[in-house]
A and B are shown apart, each in its own frame.
Chain A
Amino acid sequence: MKVGEPEKFIVKGKRLDGRKLDELREIKIEAGILKRADGSAYVEWGGNKVMAACYGPREVHPRHLARSDKAILRCTYNMAPFSVSDRKRPGPDRRSREISKVTREALEPVVFTNLFPRTAIDVFIEVLQANAGTRCTGIAAASVALADAGIPMRDLVPSCAAGKVGGEIVLDLFDVEDNFGEADLPVAMIPRKNEITLLQMDGNLTQEEFEKALKLAMEGCIKVYELQKEALRRKYGGA
């Protein structure tokens, strides 16, 4: 047993932080909080605090990256040095490059890039505090930031993870569950079409477990989707 590993993950049907197996952490989304960016969002998701900013469509630098038939979408995921308990060495690393890539691939299918040839749409995701599930938090925030920037999209992209801890399939792992659990399955989707744009898995699941976890994560996504829409409506006083 490793240091910090709990003896039991689930006691009397409740998880270590008091949640039920299919319960999300508390999520707070705010749209349009940065004045200098074209669009922005701030998301607090349990212990995660993530800021996303979006710029564009704008001129592409360096020029050779520009595509003559569509806009390019660039995503940058970055963790602040103080976002984790051991100071994170600043700067891009293998992990953040991977997350930047999967974030871009999760968002690209919904953005009408064909409307803005020769331009770039830049999305920056800054993790201020991490508590497991930052890539999902980041995608959810980025999607709201894109909408806030007025970028034409087919839909918002909510994101949520499911996983396996203590032999049970649970929704939205927090850090202890993520570190010592058996599997983590982040999912992002296009709710309107029921299509998946991000699917990763860390750990092992049987096929039945996988299907159960995927279904659970997609239900979580729908809840996040409602919160995203609510945040945008709140910002723009929408009826």
Chain B
Amino acid sequence: MVLPGELIAEGEYKLGEGVFREQGKIYSSVMGLVDEKKGYLRVIPLTGKYIPKVEDFVVGKIEDAQFSHWEVNINSAYSAILNASDYFREIDIFQTALAKILAPGDLIFAIVREITPTKKVYVTMADKMARSLKGGRLLKISPTKVPRVIGKNSSMISMIKKETKCDILVGQNGRIWLNGEAERINLAVKAIELIEREAHTAGLTKRVEDLLTVR
């Protein structure tokens, strides 16, 4: 584990998140775990808010419907914009008020399309996975724990889905949407809470499996 300002390496590396170069030396800028792959160096943060990245899936909440776009809260310092043209089917904005399609408070599963240099975030629903979410339950976890909930090649989340038979969508922004039978959702929530609590321990998959298959 490294802390802000800690020396990690010297020399030629491509720098990812959580690191910075000063006078040829590379330091960590956050508290986290060093990850080096093929000359690409980054620090995986242990804490922090969600910072949008292009191609991230996010669970967004409609804040406001304008004439030609929606404003979407993506649990980040930046709210996102969903243009009417980025909605999954064509809308004639002169005929239909956007609030009738998605009203403030509605949830969507969308993908980050673009981030401008001034940090304007655009999301789109033009993706097979993207859709608006009706019913179900919303769970919030720390965005830094999301990779653990998903697991390697989404092994963890597949297992939870299979064992609980719930429909689960995990946003990189730390919001998780679950739908299914109330009992089964409760079980899935328990499993995800366990993952969040014990994210950095070994043998986690086994314990989650035990939790899900007991009874």
Contacts and interface: CB of A to CB of B under 8 A. Distances in A.
A161 interface: no
B31 A232 contact: yes
Contacts of A186: none
Interface in A93-138: 110, 112, 116-119
Nearest to B120: A118
A181 interface: no
B47 interface: yes
B5 A154 contact: yes
Contacts of B60: none
Nearest to B25: A192
B79 interface: yes
Given A56-B77, A150-B144, A237-B200, A112 B29 contact: yes
Contacts of B77: 56-59, 116, 118-119
B49 A150 contact: yes
Contacts of A116: 51, 77, 119
Interface string B63-100: 00000000000000111000000000000000000000
Given A38-B49, A232-B31, A59 B3 contact: no
B180 interface: no
B31 A150 contact: yes
Given A119-B77, A192-B5, A150 B30 contact: yes
A167 interface: no
Contacts of A155: 4-5
Interface in A30-88: 32, 38-39, 56-59, 68
A239 B118 contact: no
Interface string A204-234: 0000000000000000000000000100110
Given A117-B118, A119-B77, A150-B31, A56 B3 contact: no
A140 interface: no
Interface string B15-46: 00010101000010111000000000000011
Contacts of B46: 150, 236
Nearest to B18: A152
Q: Majority SS of interface residues in chain B?
A: loop
A185 B44 CA distance: 38
Nearest to B22: A154
A188 interface: no
B174 to A, nearest CB: 12
B1 interface: yes
Interface in A144-201: 147-156, 190-192
Interface of A: 32, 38-39, 56-59, 68, 110, 112, 116-119, 147-156, 190-192, 229, 232-233, 236-239
22 contacts: A56-B49, A58-B49, A68-B118, A112-B20, A116-B77, A116-B119, A119-B77, A147-B4, A149-B47, A149-B49, A150-B46, A150-B47, A150-B48, A150-B144, A152-B4, A152-B18, A154-B5, A154-B22, A154-B27, A155-B4, A232-B3, A239-B1
**What 6 A-B pairs are tightest by C-beta distance, nearest first?**
A150-B48, A155-B5, A238-B1, A152-B29, A150-B47, A57-B77
Given A110-B4, A112-B20, A239-B1, 9 more contacts: A38-B47, A58-B49, A116-B77, A117-B119, A148-B47, A149-B49, A150-B48, A236-B46, A238-B1
